[in-house]
């Protein structure tokens, strides 16, 4: 029998420490142990593996990760949750380190070993910003071995979207040019406390080798320009970026096209020319 099997229900922990979800922190807690265990299985076997969790709150997903055998580093900015997480740490000596910090200010590379898996129910208000930071990590290969992150379903669909779809945009290109994302699990609003107004989804991302000759910041700038005015033709949306019109021509891409019609490979090709 696991030491975690006898823990009190998460609702009791939330009541005892008065850590009800705060809208200002983007918190929506997932309390169903079976669903939490399913999320912990998304990256594969975690026994002995380093895992990074952002915003553990009362520790529901943290419990699942520890049950899976992971060595967890967690960052939590809500001081109310720290005593509950300290209880979990005491039950798993050496396997749970909690930093009372803001994840946006946390230096992952300085605190986490290479090959760490990120598994997190990301707070809605910082989730996309953190995800983009991880996708644009340099040097590449990144410090993380995989990302298994909960987002609003709409954001998850943008991450995996194909060219030509309404969801396809800058986030799609940044997620797909040197990584492979997929939606691993979808969850309805009723799975959370409090229930959000939208459905959620877990996106699993595995890094791939980066295409040769492409600098990440150049691709970031190109996609920001192209999708910043996505209803306009490329000749208008990227004209403020030096060399972009010429790079489109060199790649045989009609500048009358709109950004959502370009494939990830076409964006990479243009960024390669601009990276020279």
Taking the C-alpha atoms of residue 67 and residue 57, their distance in angstroms, rounded to an integer, is 17
254 labeled part of a ligand binding site: no
Q: What is the CB-side half-sphere exposure of residue 175 using CA atoms within 13 A? A: 29
Q: What is the CB-side half-sphere exposure of residue 224 using CA atoms within 13 A? A: 9
Q: Fill in the DSSP letter of residue 137.
A: -
121 labeled part of a ligand binding site: yes
Burial bucket for residue 117 (CB in 10 Å: 0-12, 13-18, 19+): buried
Radius of gyration of the chain (CA): 20
Tokens of 239: 């004209």
76 labeled part of a ligand binding site: yes
**According to DSSP H, which parts of the chain are helical?**
10-17, 33-41, 60-67, 82-91, 108-111, 127-135, 153-160, 170-176, 216-228, 234-237, 244-250, 264-275
Angle in degrees, CA 27, 206, 170, rounded to 5: 70
174 labeled part of a ligand binding site: no
Taking the C-alpha atoms of residue 168 and residue 163, their distance in angstroms, rounded to an integer, is 6
55 labeled part of a ligand binding site: yes
34 labeled part of a ligand binding site: no
- Binding site listing: 28, 30, 55, 76, 102, 121
- Binding site listing for S-adenosyl-L-methionine: 28, 30, 55, 76, 102, 121
């Amino acid at each position: 029998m696991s030491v975690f099997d006898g823990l009190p229900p998460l609702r009791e922990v939330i009541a005892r420490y008065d850590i009800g979800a705060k809208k200002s922190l983007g918190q929506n807690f997932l309390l169903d142990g079976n669903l939490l265990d399913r999320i912990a299985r998304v990256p594969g076997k975690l026994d002995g593996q380093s895992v990074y969790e952002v915003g553990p709150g009362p520790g529901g997903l943290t419990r699942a990760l520890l049950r899976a055998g992971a060595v967890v580093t967690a960052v939590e900015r809500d001081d109310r949750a720290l005593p509950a997480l300290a209880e979990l740490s005491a039950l798993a000596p050496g396997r749970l380190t909690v930093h009372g910090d803001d994840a946006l200010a946390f230096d992952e590379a300085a605190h986490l070993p290479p090959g760490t898996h990120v598994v997190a129910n990301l707070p809605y208000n910082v989730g996309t910003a953190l995800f983009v930071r991880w996708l644009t990590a340099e040097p590449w290969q990144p410090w993380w071995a995989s990302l298994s992150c909960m987002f609003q379903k709409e954001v998850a669909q943008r991450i995996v979207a194909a060219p030509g779809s309404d969801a396809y945009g800058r986030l799609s290109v940044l997620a797909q040019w040197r990584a492979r994302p997929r939606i691993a699990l979808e969850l309805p609003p009723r799975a959370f406390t409090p229930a959000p107004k939208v459905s959620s989804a877990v996106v699993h991302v595995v890094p791939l080798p980066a295409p040769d000759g492409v600098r990440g910041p150049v691709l970031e700038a190109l996609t920001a320009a192209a999708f910043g005015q996505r209803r306009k033709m490329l000749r208008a949306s990227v004209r403020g970026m030096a060399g972009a019109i010429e790079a489109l021509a060199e790649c045989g891409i009609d500048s009358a096209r709109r950004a959502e019609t370009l494939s990830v490979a076409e964006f990479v090709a243009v960024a390669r020319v601009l990276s020279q």
